[in-house]
A and B are shown apart, each in its own frame.
Chain A
Amino acid sequence: MYFTTNSFISTKNLLAIFITAGLVFQSCSSDFLDVPPQAKEEAEAFFVTQDDATKAVNSIYANLRVWNQVAFAAIAIESVPADEAEKGSSPGDATFFNNFDNFTYTASEGQIQDFWTGQYQSINLCNQVIENIPPINMDANLKARYIAEAKFVRAYNYFRLVRAFGDVPLRLSLPKSNVDFNIPRTPKEQVWAAIEQDLTDAASVLPPNYPATDVGRVTKGAALALHAKVAMYQKKWNDVLNYTNQVMGLGYSLFPNFEALFRIANENSTESVFEIQCQSLPGIQGASNSQYSQVQGVRAQSGGGWGFNVPTEALVDAFEADDPRKDATIIFRGETTPEGDAVAPTGDNPRYNQKSYVPFTVPFKQNEGEDQNIRVIRYAEVLLMNAEAANELGNSPQALTSLNAVRERARGGNAAILPDVTTTNQDQLRNAIYHERQVELAMEFDRFFDVIRQGRGFAVFSTKGFKEGKNELMPIPQNEIDKSAGALTQNIGYN
């Protein structure tokens, strides 16, 4: 009644078109709803080519310099508890560091969680490589080396975990299903064993050195040196001696100028055994992300930094008379650095860490000092480990040779200072080596756990509030315990 014949037909046609269109939708519905992720590669397509393997290994190296590995968390866990360092900055800023300085920290401290997270995030990157690279069809030698590099980093992260927490969840493979998500702590003996296995594997594959374009990758020397340190923490003195002897045969040497050793110009020097590469990278903002130097830089000074983790009076006093390493390790308020920076005579802190110091005039894109590499293992430490192992095994001549090599370099040609150690009394020599480690490796995030593994925690730190039987280990982060619903237990004294 509403349509002329013609219009009705045209309507019918139109309707047919729309209904057909609807049917077309239906027939191709599987395509229409099949949408790939945008701007993200699907994981299925990754770990297929050699290039993928390369990128994955690169991520492991890059991740070593991120905030939760090198900045606040490392300061809180590995530096401030020691007698050589304290919070710094201004009194009201980041006061939680004081809890670590005076041993009142609890399992709820954010920095403990951050430290834990940082290590495990790195371990995941390594596990991805170790598990996913083997099936890739690629250069066999390169494949073996990539896996060895990942194993080294994994061992390094587990080393940092086990000495801080003792038993920790040990993940050597990727989780396959929900049951792998929540695993309990593995006894520390097994963690140490896993670390040693990784380092043994790595040292057997890694080359002693690389062409210039690959400088910064981990070497055989790095794997041996870290293995020596791992053995030293377990008092396996024969192993320490063995591994350090091997490193000493690889052509490393001490860099003559102790102060200059820590400057950008002398990165990856002959003394460098393992060094985290940090670079100011114009045009790649996110990659210029090391804040290691920034957080420790001279406070309230343009080009300086935030001024955390500052040397204590105790460290100043620890140096022998006229030891040049004191001035090379500590920036004193009011001094002019060898690079010509005048440090203001007033300010919140009398001292700053000079080993992380980057001259104020060095340009940066994101963070002050983003260019500074982080020296993790130096040849000097290899010598000191060698000396300690030799002494523990009763070989004082070798111990003295290695120890005095370090002192000789520190002397800088000035025969009037830092005389050679001559004692062959094992206890005296042990103490001399301990002392040498304190001053040689000062402000290099080694002191606290070094004293703990020497069994002297209470003796050295009790005046700061250290409680024996408790503070040798950090508490497991409370959030982890909550999330584990009982699978994770707490360390003694923290609950």
Chain B
Amino acid sequence: MKRLFTHSLFGIVLCFLFVNFALAQNAITVSGKVTDAQGLGLPAVSVSVKGTNKGTQTNAEGSFSLQASVGNTLVFSYLGFQTKEVQVTGSTLNVQLIETSTALEQVVVIGYGVQKKLDVTGAVAQVKGEEISKQSVPNAVSALQGKVAGVQITNSGSAGTSPQIRIRGLGTVYGDANPLYVVDGTWYNDIGFLNPSDIESINILKDASSTAMYGVRASNGVVLITTKRGKGDTRITYNGYVGLQTINNTIKMANASQYATLINELNNTPTFANPDAFGNGTDWMTAVTRNSFTTNQYLTVSGGSEKSSYNFSIGYFGQGGNVEKNQYDRITARLQNDILATKFLKIGYNAILENKKSTDVPDDIIYKAVTAAPVVPVRYADGSWGDPADYPVGNVPSNPALQLDVFTQESKGRRITGSAFAEFYIVKGLTFKTNFGAEYNEIDRRTYNPVYNYDTELGAATHTQYNQISLLTINQDENNNWIWENTLTYEKTLDKHRFTLLGGLSAQRYKNYFIEGSARNVPNSTSGDIYLALGDNDTRTLKDGGDLSTAQSYFGRINYVYNDKYLLNASFRADGSSKFSQDDKWGYFPSVGIGWVISREEFMKKFDFINELKIRGSWGIVGNSGIQTNISTLTVDQKPEFTAVFGGLPYTGANITSIVPPVLVWERGNGTDFAIEGAFMNNRLTAELDWYNRTTERAIFPIPVLTSLGTTSSQLIGNQADIRNRGFEFSLGWKDGNKSNFTYSLNANLSINNNKVTNVESGENPIYAGGDAATGGQLSTITVQGEPIGQFYGLVVDGIFQNDAEVAASAQPDASPGDFKYHDKDGNGIIDARDREVIGNPNPKYMYGINTSFAYKAFDLAVDFQGVAGVDIYNANKGVRFGSENYSEDFYNNRWHGAGTSNSYPSANVGGGQNYVPNSWYVENGSYFRIRNIQLGYTFDTKLISKWKMQKVRVYVNAQNPITFFSYTGFNPEVGTAKNDVGGTPKTINTGIDRGVYPLYATYNFGLNVTF
């Protein structure tokens, strides 16, 4: 629409030009080029002679030419850039436009449309593509860390794993807590496939009124991603970097002689006769990890005219994991093309292709490495594997280097996704758009467990790690999703009234299918061998499964602005989802937002340091359908474990092993947001303060049910609680670009969140959870009315028993000296479950980020900081012990090993007795402060490079995550949603429980940007 409009304007302007040409006095032809801050030509910039109606537009290269007189003032204006006025002094005039410094003038993307930030009444934050591509991260979400107030990003150290994102606190426990990602109109759960360099902008919708347009998928916020579209001249851009990736903050483990000492203490017998003789022994972390290389190569060709635009890109990302053998490679390609086919029809598509491959390592390899016995060598002098069985350490721990060596798994993934649209311009202002988005992706994984037999092949295995018969397992998982949306938009300006009406409907379908097969005794002499067909006939197994859900929606919205001062936005959406039972399929989601641009009022004009000032308030209802499909349909459990044997022959078995909630309804989010935002001091200072109240009503909770029901799962899903997240978000920006040669910007943001459970269906009775392997099977979190969700719950450690007399006099007669002395809360002389209390809160209270950039002549520097404070972590790794696992050096130095040696750390028997039960010793401070990114760049002089037909050449060095400060004794304080056990499935309810978290890594890169 806009394009059509400008096009015809252009014609009208031309007419005027002809008329004026004849009348002009002393007119000369002024020509020149309009460029952006990077020196790239800006097309379609409006150029006019001030005080006349003479004007033109820049062409695709950014060049213009018009008639004007010396002394005339030319006005250059372009959406998103500061308008610039320049006096004509001669026939050449080159102008550089600076991007609008006030965020309020920027255009932001909202659901199904765009709006000027000034017209927005909800909480929408925008991060530009260059902010993202500046960081050397494989996943764009990771680059948002510390950039936006209220958005918590938790990274994972394992290659190819998407970071976890929480917008305005944790609002759901059972459902999906991740936001919805919308890439050019197509909905995704994850955007790991998207090359960060392909992103034009990321807009984060934080409050309920902004996200209500996404109804049932909106409760955790919505991340709208616009990909780059071509414009102007054909441009070829290359971006590339190579880097070194290294683990930082590894846990220092006890060395061999310290370990032997500890094991002697654990077993209370001299298992190792002479601990000192072992010296340092093996550092298993060093044995299985390495510094690795990472590289990113990206090439794009783009361009556009009034009639069409295109952008083709191809990227390669290669990441060597910090665990030996681990490698992740990804190739992405994107094709984007828009064509104005006729005056009233625009069609276009955007297709993304991804092909990835990884050489995997065992999920628990880091855990195995830190727990492995340092007295065991990696290999003996004769080359055979160090065998824990040759040492008195049992079969826990094992030899992780052997485990890694024999582990053979390769994963491959292919994806094609994208969207196609058609826009019809029916009458002026009225547009019909149909958009069809689809995604097909397939992942296949081949795991091969070769033969490595202790008995037959000398030195090929250890006594406890051997495999006598090979096993090949193949998993294939495919997803086939589509979304079709039709919208009708009507835009109209009537005098001081400006409004946009939108109506639409949407249908979606999500299908998953997986198949898994295995066979034993598959040879592996060539790559052509890895087929189930080559396995033993009687060992082949096969299973499959799938998932299907559909959704259907109707929605409408009005955006109304009066006199550019008074803002009203209101929307309504109705969503139907197949996931819910018949009577509860439909949900209805209204929202309303109002705003007042105070700075446009007459009485504000006298405050000339205020450029823009707006207050706004909004309210909305949103939903969360991020739960499994058909949750209230009772199904039959038919599994191989139910195969009975009679007379030596197998017979299929099946039974009902679950109970389902009779009624399950939407989790309903109810969000209110009030904010004040403004730009001050010539737009150099911007500030925004939001207060929000976000409640999740009738939150779906898995309530632990009594095991005596006999169900396979000890949980029952139901609408159980109301959760509230309330807090402030504060953003401050300072940008000064007027000094010659030197520009800089400083941005800081802070969010404060308070999480509270406002109502529990079970009334006074708390909801206990977290009873997994990480906590010795003990329920370790409590959710109770009036308190934050999922707080750590356990005994409080008063000290350590120093001797038998203390034990005998205590409430724990079965304890031994060196055990935890627990606080007898009820003072009844017995330590039991009734003495437990809240011992920590996993919900972070404060998050902050500081982002800076500086440019001096050809140099540019960006430094970002980020941190979290007011959060606890349950370090379960310290207490989960099955045998003779290693301990940390910190534990060795501080442990109890005889009366008077320690009153804070227990004896080596930390995993035994009652020491492993959830208690306050395992709870640690999870606050951290990080230097997130440092980048220093140098742009070569245009004159120097123009002879090679280059427009821009920039080189840079970059350090990503170089330093993190924290006191936590685990690998890193970014724990997030914990797995219930090493290699297990993460559970939201176990947030903050650290069990086998990966170490994070720093990357140091050298990069090159070239534009032709």
Residues of A within 8 A of B (CB): 1-3, 7, 11, 14-15, 18-19, 21-22, 25-26, 29, 32-46, 52, 54-63, 66, 89-96, 98-99, 104, 106-108, 110, 113, 116-117, 120-125, 127-129, 132, 168-169, 171, 175, 177, 181-183, 210, 212-217, 277-279, 281-287, 289, 299-300, 302, 348, 365, 477-485, 488, 494-495
Q: For the complex, what is the distance from the CA of A163 to the CA of B547, rounded to whole Å?
A: 44
CB distance from A476 to the nearest CB of B (A): 10
By a CB distance below 8 angstroms, the chain A residues around B809 are none
Contact of B913 among A59, A104, A284 (CB under 8 A): A104
A11-B426, A43-B635, A478-B778 known; A29-B646 Cβ under 8 A = no
Q: For the complex, what is the distance from the CA of A155 to the CA of B485, rounded to whole Å?
A: 59
| B706 lies within 8 A of A283 (CB) | no
By a CB distance below 8 angstroms, the chain A residues around B536 are 282
CB distance from B125 to the nearest CB of A (A): 33
CB distance from B583 to the nearest CB of A (A): 12
By a CB distance below 8 angstroms, the chain A residues around B428 are 1-2
| B642 lies within 8 A of A63 (CB) | yes
Q: Residue B552 at the A interface, CB < 8 A?
A: yes
| A interface footprint on B315-338 (CB within 8 Å = 1, 0 otherwise) | 000000000000000000000000
CB distance from A102 to the nearest CB of B (A): 9
Q: Residue B929 at the A interface, CB < 8 A?
A: no
| A interface footprint on B420-451 (CB within 8 Å = 1, 0 otherwise) | 00001111100010100000000000000000
| A104 lies within 8 A of B814 (CB) | yes
A34-B578, A42-B636, A287-B643 known; A481-B833 Cβ under 8 A = yes
| A59 lies within 8 A of B653 (CB) | yes
A39-B545, A92-B396, A283-B539 known; A15-B633 Cβ under 8 A = no
| B709 lies within 8 A of A124 (CB) | yes
B747-768 contacts to A, CB under 8 A, are 762, 765, 768
Q: Residue B6 at the A interface, CB < 8 A?
A: no
| B344 lies within 8 A of A287 (CB) | no
Segment at the A interface, from B39-47, B611-619, B654-662, B841-849: B654-662
Name the CB-closest residue of A to B762: A485
| B395 lies within 8 A of A482 (CB) | no
Name the CB-closest residue of B to A169: B708
Contact of A58 among B4, B545, B651 (CB under 8 A): B651
Segment at the A interface, from B175-183, B263-271, B558-566: B263-271
Q: Residue B712 at the A interface, CB < 8 A?
A: yes
| A285 lies within 8 A of B709 (CB) | no
B327-384 contacts to A, CB under 8 A, are 342-345
By a CB distance below 8 angstroms, the chain B residues around A56 are 653-655
By a CB distance below 8 angstroms, the chain A residues around B777 are 108, 110, 113, 479
Q: Total interface residues on B, using CB and 8 Å?
A: 115
B813-860 contacts to A, CB under 8 A, are 814, 830, 832-834
Q: For the complex, what is the distance from the CA of A56 to the CA of B657, rounded to whole Å?
A: 11
Q: For the complex, what is the distance from the CA of A59 to the CA of B834, rounded to whole Å?
A: 39
CB distance from B105 to the nearest CB of A (A): 29
B263-303 contacts to A, CB under 8 A, are 263, 266-267, 269, 271
By a CB distance below 8 angstroms, the chain B residues around A32 are 507, 550, 552, 578
Q: Residue B90 at the A interface, CB < 8 A?
A: no
A2-B428, A117-B707, A284-B650 known; A479-B779 Cβ under 8 A = yes
| A22 lies within 8 A of B646 (CB) | no
By a CB distance below 8 angstroms, the chain A residues around B804 are none
By a CB distance below 8 angstroms, the chain B residues around A171 are 708-710
| A interface footprint on B397-434 (CB within 8 Å = 1, 0 otherwise) | 00000000000000000000000000011111000101
| B539 lies within 8 A of A92 (CB) | no
B662-689 contacts to A, CB under 8 A, are 662
By a CB distance below 8 angstroms, the chain A residues around B540 are 283
Could you show 16 A-B contacts with beta carbons less than 8 Å apart? A7-B343, A18-B434, A32-B552, A37-B635, A38-B546, A41-B636, A45-B636, A46-B656, A58-B644, A58-B654, A93-B396, A128-B656, A171-B708, A181-B705, A216-B644, A302-B466
| B4 lies within 8 A of A2 (CB) | yes
Q: For the complex, what is the distance from the CA of A175 to the CA of B705, rounded to whole Å?
A: 12
A58-B642, A120-B709, A283-B539 known; A42-B427 Cβ under 8 A = no
By a CB distance below 8 angstroms, the chain B residues around A216 are 644-647
By a CB distance below 8 angstroms, the chain A residues around B659 are 175
By a CB distance below 8 angstroms, the chain B residues around A113 are 707, 777
Q: For the complex, what is the distance from the CA of A484 to the CA of B765, rounded to whole Å?
A: 9
| B778 lies within 8 A of A279 (CB) | no
| B641 lies within 8 A of A286 (CB) | yes
Q: For the complex, what is the distance from the CA of A483 to the CA of B762, rounded to whole Å?
A: 11
By a CB distance below 8 angstroms, the chain A residues around B434 are 18
| B653 lies within 8 A of A284 (CB) | no
A39-B544, A108-B917 known; A55-B539 Cβ under 8 A = no
Q: For the complex, what is the distance from the CA of A333 to the CA of B771, rounded to whole Å?
A: 39
Q: For the complex, what is the distance from the CA of A275 to the CA of B5, rounded to whole Å?
A: 86
Q: For the complex, what is the distance from the CA of A477 to the CA of B652, rounded to whole Å?
A: 33
Q: Residue B468 at the A interface, CB < 8 A?
A: yes
A33-B576, A39-B545 known; A282-B538 Cβ under 8 A = yes
Q: For the complex, what is the distance from the CA of A166 to the CA of B505, rounded to whole Å?
A: 62
CB distance from A135 to the nearest CB of B (A): 15
Q: Residue B883 at the A interface, CB < 8 A?
A: yes
A55-B652, A55-B655 known; A91-B643 Cβ under 8 A = no
A2-B428, A36-B630, A217-B646 known; A127-B776 Cβ under 8 A = no
Q: For the complex, what is the distance from the CA of A479 to the CA of B918, rounded to whole Å?
A: 13
| A300 lies within 8 A of B505 (CB) | no
| B518 lies within 8 A of A59 (CB) | no
Contact of A25 among B505, B643, B645, B814 (CB under 8 A): B505
CB distance from B419 to the nearest CB of A (A): 16
By a CB distance below 8 angstroms, the chain A residues around B520 are 365
Q: A32-B507, A302-B466 are in contact. List 4 more A-B contacts (CB 8 A).
A: A42-B633, A60-B655, A479-B771, A480-B706
A29-B552, A91-B267, A181-B709 known; A58-B395 Cβ under 8 A = no
Q: Residue B84 at the A interface, CB < 8 A?
A: no
| A59 lies within 8 A of B547 (CB) | no
Q: For the complex, what is the distance from the CA of A26 to the CA of B553, rounded to whole Å?
A: 9
| A479 lies within 8 A of B393 (CB) | no
Name the CB-closest residue of B to A286: B640
CB distance from A61 to the nearest CB of B (A): 4
By a CB distance below 8 angstroms, the chain B residues around A488 are 706
By a CB distance below 8 angstroms, the chain A residues around B548 are 35, 38
Residue from B426, B648, B659, B712 with most neighbouring chain A CB atoms (10 Å): B648
Contact of B778 among A22, A108, A485 (CB under 8 A): A108
Contact of B652 among A29, A42, A58 (CB under 8 A): A58
| A61 lies within 8 A of B710 (CB) | no
| B486 lies within 8 A of A18 (CB) | yes
B106-125 contacts to A, CB under 8 A, are none
CB distance from B24 to the nearest CB of A (A): 31
| A59 lies within 8 A of B466 (CB) | no
Q: For the complex, what is the distance from the CA of A77 to the CA of B577, rounded to whole Å?
A: 47
By a CB distance below 8 angstroms, the chain B residues around A63 are 641-642
By a CB distance below 8 angstroms, the chain B residues around A300 are 389, 395, 463-464
| B541 lies within 8 A of A283 (CB) | yes
Name the CB-closest residue of B to A113: B777
By a CB distance below 8 angstroms, the chain A residues around B577 are 33
Q: For the complex, what is the distance from the CA of A43 to the CA of B659, rounded to whole Å?
A: 10
By a CB distance below 8 angstroms, the chain B residues around A215 are 646-648
Q: Residue B634 at the A interface, CB < 8 A?
A: yes
| A2 lies within 8 A of B883 (CB) | no
| A182 lies within 8 A of B706 (CB) | yes
By a CB distance below 8 angstroms, the chain A residues around B505 are 22, 25-26
| A2 lies within 8 A of B344 (CB) | yes
By a CB distance below 8 angstroms, the chain A residues around B657 are 121, 124-125
Name the CB-closest residue of B to A63: B642
A62-B641, A124-B709 known; A479-B704 Cβ under 8 A = yes
| B814 lies within 8 A of A89 (CB) | no
B530-584 contacts to A, CB under 8 A, are 536, 538-541, 544-552, 576-578
